[in-house]
Chains A and B, each alone.
Chain A
Amino acid sequence: MTWSDGLFLFFAALTVIPAFLCVALARNIIRGAFLLMLTFWGVAGLYGMLGADFLMAAQLIVYVGGILVLILYGVMLSRRVSMAELPVGAFSIFAGAAGSLAMGAFLYQIIDATPWQATDTPATEGTIRPIGELFLGKFLLPFEFISLVLLAALVGAVILARKEFDEPAEQVDS
């Protein structure tokens, strides 16, 4: 077991344990969001272990800096959520645990049984240049399309979240 294997185990634990605590045990949503932050950090570390430096930065910026802050804002904007939520029914927990465990066993079977054509030598040194070349070459259409999606999401989110006009007589359709 080399030091990189130990590092992998550390990041894997940092990813999986807070995720489990967050979904299974946490009752307070603020606490859950901060556990989720640990998970995102762990995934960023795993990206680093995979040699995907650009993705590691993107994960930290977009997930930890963006999505998590967005979730916390969503929590704060609605007052009742920050309090402890209603207890989940026993049947619901049982069904969820059974379904998730079955899914986990299924996935593990697939991973275990498939003969992966994997190699240990990394295919590329550095990822930013190949990613840039792919985005401006082979994947130009998805790249342009995703910018359209982002624009649509931006405008749509603003329209959905803004205050309605106070005109009870006529409905403003937008």
Chain B
Amino acid sequence: MAFHVSLESYLIVSAALFVCGMYAVMTRRNAVWILMGIELILNSASLNFTAFSRYIEHQPGVDPAAGMVGSILIIILAAAEAAVALAILISIYRNFRTIETEDMQELKG
């Protein structure tokens, strides 16, 4: 089997992760599932950044570790986003007694 790991292999794995996350966001009705889909999407973006950072051709003026900085920023933002989203979910659950997105249809609860 002539398989060799290259940039494309990582990109394909990351595209598969992205597609999985997108499917979850599109089909699920429970907000926690949607949040998990968003985490998958963020993970795929971060994996892409790191793969580019590893496989980039070295040029003067281009920092090879800059892609990893992007990945770290994504991880930090994902953590902040998860915390705030779950706080919002708890607050919604207190008002509506549900976290199914189709049941939340009133703006003024």
Contact = CB atoms under 8 A, between A and B. Distances in A.
Nearest to B89: A74
Interface string A60-82: 00110011001101110110110
Interface size class of A (residues with CB under 8 A): 35 or more
A78 B23 contact: no
Interface in A25-41: 29, 32-33, 36, 39-40
Interface string A92-103: 110111011101
B83 A107 contact: no
A30 to B, nearest CB: 10
Chain A contact residues: helix, strand, loop or mixed: helix
Nearest to B55: A118
A12 B36 CA distance: 19
B39 A134 contact: no
B43 to A, nearest CB: 5
Interface residues of B, number: 76
A1 B84 contact: no
B102 to A, nearest CB: 9
Contacts of B19: 100-101, 103-104, 107
A130 B40 contact: no
Nearest to B2: A1
Contacts of B6: 118, 120
A77 B23 CA distance: 25
B104 interface: no
Given A22-B36, A85-B30, A124-B65, A15 B13 contact: yes
A23 B65 CA distance: 32
A8 B47 CA distance: 13
Interface of B: 1-13, 15-24, 26-30, 32-33, 35-37, 39-40, 43, 46-47, 50-51, 53-58, 63-66, 68-69, 71-73, 75-84, 86-91, 93-94, 98-100
Given A47-B47, A99-B23, 16 more contacts: A39-B43, A55-B46, A55-B71, A62-B75, A62-B76, A66-B82, A85-B33, A116-B8, A116-B55, A119-B58, A122-B54, A138-B66, A139-B66, A153-B81, A157-B86, A161-B87
22 contacts: A5-B4, A12-B13, A23-B28, A36-B39, A43-B17, A46-B10, A47-B50, A49-B5, A67-B39, A71-B86, A78-B93, A100-B23, A101-B19, A117-B56, A120-B55, A124-B64, A130-B68, A131-B72, A135-B69, A150-B80, A158-B87, A161-B91
